[in-house]
A and B are shown apart, each in its own frame.
Chain A
Amino acid sequence: MDLRYSKSDEEFRVELRGWLEQEVPKHGVSPDQNDWEGRVEYDTSWQRKLFDAGFAGINWPKEFGGREASVSEQLVYYEEYARARAPYVGVNFVGLLHGGPTLMVEGSDEQRAAHIPKIIRGEEVWCQGFSEPTAGSDLAALKTRAERDGDDYVVNGHKIWTSYAQVSQFCELLVRTDPDAKKHGGISWLVMPMDLPGIEIRPLPTLQGDSDFSEVFLEDVRVPIANRVGKENDGWRVTNVTLRFERGTAFASEMYRLQERLAQLKQVAKSITRWDASAWEDKALRREVGHFQAELDSLWSMVKLSVAQSGETGVPGLGASAVKLYYTELTQKVLEVYMRVIGRAALARVTIDDLPNEEVLDKALNSLSLSIAAGSSQIQRNIISERILGFPKDR
């Protein structure tokens, strides 16, 4: 139960902070959300800079090009990354936080060699082909068929919520390889090149107005059998490995950044006049914000415990579901109060009177996805109650 950073942790902090202070401003502001070419360039060239400086794949083993940082250095990294407002992982998300780690644990030597070096350098963008229109929370109900034909699987189906589909080279694809097996039993995990014939991508605008999501239609797409990760029909187990990475530390820097957002909320409240005093004079608001501060600090302490428990390169534990639930609800609460503070400025999604309403609204709208994506809050509660508390899988 020791929260002290070692001397070498602090040296790492100084080194990283110095580098970020120099490089983050140079990298400029992120392009418009609909400028895909610009976004890919912005996100992937930043990843390359991280790699060249030795800061990519912070918790990845050295053999895969990562830094293999200790648990405490990882925490320093998340803190400093958030503090420097360094670029969000963006289009590299699926490769760095899903595909790459899954290949490390489950992939063959060939598969690892083919993808991991490129993912960590920002040379390969991945997307996720898990959900389907009739397989959302009930992911294992997926119907996309893969039938063997010679050295290939012939894939037919319809995927949805595929982030970055239009700019990615590979897709982590879940398919049904045995239609007669029980639903969790007949699934396989494939790496699908996105340039194969038979793939059609249709963007699906979100309520935020961006087109990060797409639907992906697959018609007789021939994916080599060699692209399967793990055994045939063992894909559900592989998928659970993938998803736990997402519930682990994938959002650690975002969590730390909430601290800054709360501090910004306080500053904004001080600058806004309500009747004849600043909005910060409102005792009810202050009490609510103080309560959030307690929860934010606890969240970061939870991350410290969770990171330590998952070990230096291991798979995050089930407790990650608790962290995700807590983070999600807290983010939504903070942003809702933030919207109340900016009042009628919240009617505009472009900046008014130097208020941060554009950013606040983007974040508030985006926060609605947090309790749905990566396993909805209801699914996380099922995971906790069934796998931790030991209740039956009944409905």
Chain B
Amino acid sequence: MDFRLSEDQEALKQGIRSFCEGRISIDQLRELESKPGAFDRALWGEIAEMGIFGLRLPEDRGGVELNVADAVLVFEELGRAIAPGPLIWTHLAAGLVEGADLGDTVVGGLDMTGPSTELIMLEHLESIDTLLLLKPDGIERIDPKAIDATPVEIPLDPFTPVHHAKSLPAGERIADAETAKEWRLVGTALASAQLLGIAESTLEAATDYAKKREQFGRIIGSFQAIKHILADCFVRQEAARAAAYAAGATLDYPEVGNVERAVSAAKVVAGDAAMKNARASIQVHGGMGYTWEVPAHYFLKRVWVLENVFGTIDEHSDQLAELVGATA
């Protein structure tokens, strides 16, 4: 047992961070904002080249053969940068949907294992080549062009365009209930990792701003009223880190605990941390935090998107209540 990151894991994380800083900076995201579907296929290809989609595929199938814990670190970095697109779905689909790992097939998805399946909101519909429906009894595949859906004129997150559909056509079953269950767990862990990343980058942005912005003749980061907000953000970030990493490590070796419990805990704690830290970042940025120009809002908007994938904080809390008192 050593919960610290290995040297390889540190290097993996650093590699993804450098990539994101070079290719998915805020300025580059701003350019993307005006493109149709807020999607850049060339960038998608570069993400694929980084091995992000084929990360867990065996080497003989062109993958990197890494674990869920490693994927958690990669998605933490993608979350930090609020990297756009159906990243989790395409990652999950690698190995099942041809071309997903190489970035040739952009795979989107809809989790229908939760309590509200009546309202159908589809993310990235105009950019994806395949739509997968995650249902309790298996995974179904649908041709996105066969769906009768209306584009939502103004999506909440400028990088997550959505379509609204009244119903979905029948899909083709491509995987069984067991795979669906695994996808739901891994997907939840990766969404938690992205939320952890957002908890980090929002704290970082607020900290940098508070060290520069002066009022009353001194930087606002010298006031305890600001310092303590950000100290609390740090505590939440560290709790989210521990929870998200534990979810990954437990998925890799289920004998160390209870997979459902670890994954739900991660979604709850990372979701909380991202939500509160993103709000705190806007607050610390003051009036500028309320503008479109300062990117703080993009992060909170993405949190609201991620809160509504793979189970909400409330849903996971309800599930955890059932597990209270169970061993490990």
Contacts and interface: CB of A to CB of B under 8 A. Distances in A.
Interface of A: 1-6, 9, 71-72, 75, 262-263, 266-267, 283, 286-291, 293-295, 297-299, 301-302, 304-305, 308-309, 319, 322-323, 325-326, 378, 380-382, 384-386, 388-392, 394-395
A386 B227 contact: yes
Contact of B243 (A297, A390, A395): A297
Nearest to A79: B328
Nearest to A70: B1
A322 B238 contact: yes
Nearest to A395: B224
Interface in B228-268: 228, 230-232, 234-235, 238-243, 245-246, 248-250, 253, 255-257, 261-262, 264-266, 268
A325 B235 CA distance: 7
B314 to A, nearest CB: 6
Given A381-B232, A384-B235, A394-B223, A1 B4 contact: yes
B75 to A, nearest CB: 14
B249 A293 contact: no
B2 A2 contact: yes
Contact of B2 (A72, A262, A382, A384): A72
Nearest to B258: A297
A267 B326 CA distance: 12
A326 B235 CA distance: 7
A358 to B, nearest CB: 21
Shortest Cβ-Cβ A-B pairs, 4 listed: A290-B321, A394-B222, A263-B325, A301-B242
B9 interface: yes
Nearest to A307: B3
16 contacts: A1-B6, A1-B69, A3-B246, A3-B250, A4-B256, A262-B324, A283-B318, A291-B320, A297-B243, A298-B240, A305-B4, A322-B238, A378-B228, A381-B224, A382-B231, A391-B210
A395 B218 CA distance: 11
B317 interface: yes
Contacts of A304: 1, 3, 242, 246
A302 B238 CA distance: 7
A3 B317 contact: no
A301 B325 CA distance: 18
A287 B234 contact: no
B230 A308 contact: no
A286 B321 contact: yes
Contacts of A5: 1, 256
Contacts of B257: 3
